[in-house]
Amino acid sequence: DIQMTQSPSSLSASVGDRVTITCQASEDISNYLNWYQQKAGKAPKLLIYDASNLETGVPSRFSGSGSGTDFTLSISSLQPEDIATYYCQQSVNVPLFGPGTKVDIK
Amino acid sequence: QVQLVQSGAEVKKPGASVKVSCKASGYAFTSSFIHWVRQAPGQGLEWMGIIDPSGGSTSYAQRFQARVTMTRATSTSTVYMELSSLRSEDTAVYYCCRDRDLEGVAATFDMWGQGTMVTVSS
């Protein structure tokens, strides 16, 4: 079975900082990788699909990259409303989410 | 307005069953597969299974295969997820979510219900 890992598990950054979260699959998943944002007490929200495609309505400060086994979600300029937990998810076969990365403001 | 609206919170005793509903509106109900994902308190996201609202076919995650049933009612644009033989470990928020692909299954979830809290306690 494919395993998903994320790093870091949590981070604290200042408003305006560039933030990078990484996701690694245990085997090649091509570009079948999605990113979600989940704010406290809310349902997850799709940010990026197929590794690098920005979902409609998502701010352009969010971007995704990678293929194969290594992927990155970047926030170019962290905003207070970006406080959330971010999950990667592989969609190549049985859907599986990474463990999440909690982002807060320093 | 495109949305998925789920039924309210449930409290069940161990061994009982729970049935959660998810009503779709604002789009063609039979055009997109619906998935169910759950999240235990303070934990991550876990995929449970998928249903095709058009024909009713289903596929379940192996660990839920024996206990979960997903159905749909096209007349009311509603899908249901029933989980049986509940145990304390099933305490979680259960989400329905729509598959992004209009022609098949992308396993990419572009719209989510608000979630239904299911508590299993004696």
Distance CA B36, CA B22 (A): 10
Cross-chain Cβ contact A50/B115 below 8 Å: no
pLDDT in tens, B17-31: 999 999 999 999 999
Q: Is the pLDDT of residue A25 over 90?
A: yes
Average pLDDT of span A72-88: 98
What is the phi-psi region of residue A68: left when phi exceeds 0, alpha when psi lies from -120 to 50, beta otherwise? left
| Residues of chain B found within 8 Å of residue A55, distances taken between Cβ atoms | 110
SS (H, E, C) chain B: CCEEEECCCEEECCCCCEEEEEEEECCCHHHCCEEEEEECCCCCCEEEEEECCCCCCEEECHHHCCCEEEEEECCCCEEEEEECCCCHHHCEEEEEEEECCCCCCCCCEEEECCCEEEEECC
pLDDT in tens, B74-112: 999 999 999 999 999 999 999 999 999 988 889 999 999
Cross-chain Cβ contact B46/A97 below 8 Å: yes
Confidence of residue A10 (pLDDT cuts 50, 70, 90): very high
Cross-chain Cβ contact B61/A94 below 8 Å: yes
pLDDT in tens, B42-70: 999 999 999 999 999 999 999 999 999 99
| Residues of chain A found within 8 Å of residue B47, distances taken between Cβ atoms | 94-97
- State the pLDDT at residue B102: 84
pLDDT in tens, A29-50: 999 999 999 999 999 999 999 9
Q: What is the dihedral of CA A48, B78, B115, B46, to 10 degrees?
A: -60
